[in-house]
Every structure is written in structure tokens, then in C-alpha cells.
Structure 1
Amino acid sequence: MSAPGGAEIAGLWAAAWPERAPHPRGLEARLGDPSGWVWRRGPAGELTAFAAFRPPEAYGHGHLRLILVHPGARGQGLGRTLVTGVRERLGPLPLAVGEERGHFLPGAPEPSVGFFERVGFVRSGRVSVDMVADLRPPLPAAALPAGLRLTDAREEGILPGVLALTEGVFSARWTHDAAAVARQAPQQLLALADGSRVLGFALVGTEDDPAVLPSFLFPAALRAAARTSGPAGGLGPVGLHPDLRGSGVGRALMLTAMGRLKARGVEAMGIDWTDLAPFYERLGFRTWARHVHLRG
């Protein structure tokens, strides 16, 4: 049974989940190769079901990255068949839904949780949200404290400083994602610096930029959530050195990054995979999608 091509997978996604259509380049960049896929075809050879997975990365579990079943083929057990196929390929390892580097989704979309529970997944107790802000209204004034400046990874020495910060304070996933974006589009990795010392960072971009970030992987859905037809963009992950937390610098960093995206014409700005909703709500964001973290 021949492996599906990218156009076939995109077509299946459009049929299975049209309200969350992905950015074409973002989908292509995340699919990986067929060694991480399980799929099924119908009687005429048409692609009816598809799943993508990844072995353990920085954690002790594999990742069920994506699962799609054509509406005309639902109710036939294909979803369960795909999950079984992924488990057979990965062996006796626990699986997380999403949560991988360069992810499609951080977890299971809330409406799909019942399916995952029926095929053996259980809730981990964590729920994260995707948020959106309409950047058309004026933004609050923001200024970085004296001595701090915002630069990007095109400046010599900045990328090693960001990676040292992510490795020392944050997660292996953030280190991977920051390095991957810097290789492709160093201007999309912003850094907060005090002289040569990096104290914070943020990945940013618009849907026209080279690196399609998870925060705006679904531009049409972002536009709908922000009630605009204008350009989409996003930010994240974003991190600040612990010494600066609670000082107002994080808010200033966010507003400065938001201002840069607004100046580039972005109207619908996304942030994905966060459990800091109250902080972002104070900056004008609101939740538009919820994801339940599962293990199985």
C-alpha cells in the first residue's frame, strides 16, 4: 500500500477538519517521512485515514501527533485501527497526544477527548489553551527598562545565549524549537539582552514568514476567532529569566513583540499551548481552543 503524498494528506485534512485547515507550508514542514505514519486506503485506493507519530524525544513517551479520518469512513473503527498501528510500531511505550517538538497540537482538542478515552488514553490532569488577540485596536504603551534591548538571532552571540537560557531554565523542547527557527529564519527569534547577556526570548512570525510557528499554524481559524479577515501571526514560546519575573519586564517584552507584529500588518495574533491565560488576558488575549493532555 503506497504511502500518501502531501497533497493527499492535505486533502484528507480539508475533508476531516475543515475548520482547522493548516498553513500549507506548516503542514509540509511537520509531516516528516512515512516511517512515522500509519494510514489506510479505501476500496478505490483513496486515502481514508491517516496518523502521524514520533518516538520519544526528550521524554519517556512517544507522541501521537495527528489522526484524521474521512467523514465518509467514520464509524468503521479506522481511528482505533490507526492508534493500534501506532502502538505496534512504537512498542510498549506510553503515548502522549501531541506535546512533541514542532507540534501540530499540544494535546487532544476538547471535542475529541471521548474518542481517545475509548481507545485507552487517560487524562493527565493538565489542560492548556490556545489564545488569540485582535491587534487592530491601539496597544497599551510599553517600554523596556533602561539597559535592556530587543534584538534577534542575526546578532552574533545571541543564539548561544538563548540556547543557554532555554537549557538552563526551560525545556528541551524549547531549546529544539528555538534552534530550529534560528536555522531557518534567525530574524524570527527575538532576544531580550542586557549587553551580551540574554535574559529572555520569544519566537515570533507572520503567516508569510519562512518559519511557520505553531501559534499561527491555523491562520484561517485564528482570523475567525479574532473576527477579522486580515493577516495572522503569532508568538511563542516566550521565556524570561527567573530574576526578572514579577518585575513587569515580561509584560513589556510581550507588548513590544505585539507592536512589532502589528507594525507588519498582523491583525489576528495567536499564542498556543499555554496555561498562563490570566497573564495573557490582561494583554487582550482570549481563549479560542482548549486541549486536554492525555497518556495511553
Structure 2
Amino acid sequence: MMQIRPFDLVRDGEAAFALWTEALGDTYPLDQETFLAHALACLMGRPTGAFLAVESEQAIGFALTERSGESGYLQALVVSPTRQRQGVGAKLLNQCEGQLRSEGCEKLCLGRGSSRLWTALPDDLPQARAFFDAHGFLPQSEVVDLVIDLREPLAVSYRDRLTAAGAEVVPCTREMLPDVLAFEEREFSGWVSGILRLAAKGEEESVLVVRVGEEIIGTIQTFSPDSRTAGPNLVWRAAFDGVLGGYGAVGIAESWRGKGLGIAMCEAAGDSLRKAGAEFCHIDWTTIADFYARVGSRVWRRFTMMSKEL
């Protein structure tokens, strides 16, 4: 008889990873270290956020959630291919929804969250879309993940744009951090937490800062191949035939836009990743693919944002 039990990372981590590899490894390969790191991040201080479906002590399904305030995020729902369409996924989902309700959540989203694997529901998993449609999830918007081949040389030197504006791009230092956080809070408050996570790992220099004199006018968060911060930009490194880096949270102060500085900042970030050994740059969760196409990006995957009220 099938049972749904609380997931224990130490006891069940390898079994859950094996399920992922069996069900999704061909399309969305993960290395075990990345999988376990993201599971740990979701469950930190919240050990009741994941469940394992077992039958005769054999793992047949796994679900992982994250919570922030009144929103819950379903980061994984995986069922062994031999047990799909038999109610295993529905029971795991029901368990997750009940747990999140008990924690005060009012909405459940697919993906998203700071410890996400996927940005949202991948468009190339039609059976998953049918499942979530049937369980009351509603689509909101379309987003994409992008990739840049960093082995291609820069077409134009970004330094020319910076020089024309009297600007420079520098790594954030510990001394600069208060001013960088103040800028971010003022211009892009939703990205403050990302900078804090990098700083907590001693990686504040991964935030590149655009400044004119002492005035901070832009920031971008980068993730080198050996980054200690388990960010979403490095999740899919096993899917690339080359070394992966990434960047995100790209922002220029409103009063400085229209001068090409956002593009210059992206090019500087790509150059920094090249020097760190990256061959590809992953950009997750964006609706402005046309902007990033100017620095050589292409669409890697498409996603549909979906959620349901709890």
C-alpha cells in the first residue's frame, strides 16, 4: 500500500534524486549536489516542506515546497514513470497544499521562489500542464530563460558606452555594501534579498556596480561557475556541454536609462564570467528577451506562470 511520509533529506535525498533522474533526467538533468542543495535551501528552518511517496519501502514520488509569507512555491513534484497516472502525484500535491494551508499560505505557485529549480512550469512538459490544469492551477503569464554563448567574442566594446557616460563597472566590496543595498532598496527593492544571500556567502564581489564618480547608478548579480551561492542561474549546469555561469537582477536607475548602460553592464558581466571560466551564461525568469538579444542571448526554455488559491 502506498504511503505519503515526511521527507528527510539525509534518509531520502538519494532516493528523491534518483526519482528526478528517472523521470526528468533526459530533458532537465540535474547533478546530485545541486538537487540536494536546493532541497536543503527550501527546507531550512522548515523541515515539513517536502514529502515522499513510498510503496513497499520503494520511493515512487517526491514533492518539495518553499514558503515565503503567504505564498507557497511547488519546486518539484516527481513521480516514477512506472507509477504515473495512478493518483500518486495528486496525493502528494494534496499533502503539500494541506501543509501550506496550515502554515498560513493563501496561494500556491509553480516554481518561482528564491530556491527555485524551474522559473515556472516548463512549456515542454505537456503532461505536467494537463495535470496542473486539472488541479485548479490557472495561467498568468509567459516567461523565458535565456542563454548566451560566451565563447563568441563581443561585437562592440562595452567600455566605449561606459566612457561616453563617464561611468565605470566595479565589483562590490564589503565597504560599498551599505550604499549598494540602499540603492537597491530605492530602485529595485525586490532584489535586495539576492544581494544579501551573496554577501552572506562572502560573495558580494559577484555584484557588479555601475557608478559615475561615487554615485551608484546600476547593479547586476553574477554567478561564476564556482559560486558558493546556489542560485537558479547555475541549476541546469548538467544540461550544457560546457561550463555554466549566469547573471540576473539587471537594473539601471530610472534617471540613467536610455544611455546604453544596461547593455554595457550586461556585457561587462559576461566578460567577467568569461574570465572566471564560464562558456555559457544562463539568464532566468525574464519577459524582455529582445533586450538580452542585444548581447547575444537566445531562448533556452519557455515557461508558464501558474498558481492557485489555497
Instruction: Provide TM-score, normalisation by structure 2.
Output: 0.85
Distance change in 2, residues 1:2/1:96 (3 Å): closer
Q: Deviations over 1:7-51 (max 9, x none)?
A: 2222221112103123444333321333111221122x1222111
AA aligned to 2:306 is: L
C-alpha separation in 1, matches of 2:242 and 2:178? 35
C-alpha separation in 2, matches of 1:133 and 1:220? 16
State yes or no: 1:75 paired with 2:85: yes
State yes or no: 1:258 paired with 2:293: no
Q: How does 1:241-280 map to 2 (within 5 A)?
A: 241-280=253-292
In the alignment, what sits opposite 1:197? 215
C-alpha separation in 2, matches of 1:22 and 1:163? 32
Give the counterpart of 2:107 among 94, 105, 117. Answer: 94
State yes or no: 1:133 paired with 2:148: yes
Distance change in 2, residues 1:170/1:2 (3 Å): closer
In the alignment, what sits opposite 2:34? 26
3-state SS, counterpart of residue 287 of structure 1: strand
Give the counterpart of 2:22 among 15, 18, 27. Answer: 15
Q: Deviations over 1:57-90 (max 9, x none)?
A: 3xx4322222111212211111111111111112
Q: How does 1:227-238 map to 2 (within 5 A)?
A: 229-238=241-250
In the alignment, what sits opposite 2:301? 289
In the alignment, what sits opposite 2:192? 175
In the alignment, what sits opposite 1:150? 169
Q: How much does 1:155 deviate? A: 4.2
3-state SS, counterpart of residue 254 of structure 1: helix
Distance change in 2, residues 1:194/1:274 (3 Å): same
C-alpha RMSD of matched pairs (Å): 1.9
3-state SS, counterpart of residue 68 of structure 2: coil
AA aligned to 1:237 is: A
Q: Deviations over 1:225-261 (max 9, x none)?
A: xxxx321111112222111222100011011111111
Instruction: Indicate if the aligned counterparts of 2:7 and 2:48 stay in contact, CA closer than 8 A.
Output: no
State yes or no: 1:162 paired with 2:166: no
C-alpha separation in 1, matches of 2:37 and 2:99? 22
Give the counterpart of 1:115 among 112, 128, 131. Answer: 131
Instruction: Indicate if the aligned counterparts of 1:37 and 1:53 stay in contact, CA closer than 8 A.
Output: yes
Q: How much does 1:279 deviate? A: 0.6
C-alpha separation in 2, matches of 1:137 and 1:28? 33
C-alpha separation in 2, matches of 1:188 and 1:24? 25
Give the gaps of 5 or more residues in structure 2.
none
Q: Percent identity?
A: 29
In the alignment, what sits opposite 1:3? 7
C-alpha separation in 2, matches of 1:115 and 1:2? 23
Q: How does 1:209-220 map to 2 (within 5 A)?
A: 209-220=227-238
Q: How much does 1:220 deviate? A: 2.3
Q: Deviations over 1:157-207 (max 9, x none)?
A: 2x22232233222243x2112210121122222222233332211111233
State yes or no: 1:64 paired with 2:74: yes
Q: How many residues align?
A: 284
Distance change in 2, residues 1:209/1:24 (3 Å): farther
Instruction: Indicate if the aligned counterparts of 1:161 and 1:197 stay in contact, CA closer than 8 A.
Output: no
C-alpha separation in 2, matches of 1:166 and 1:72? 48
C-alpha separation in 1, matches of 2:271 and 2:192? 25
AA aligned to 2:16 is: I
Distance change in 2, residues 1:12/1:36 (3 Å): same
Instruction: Indicate if the aligned counterparts of 2:208 and 2:220 stay in contact, CA closer than 8 A.
Output: yes
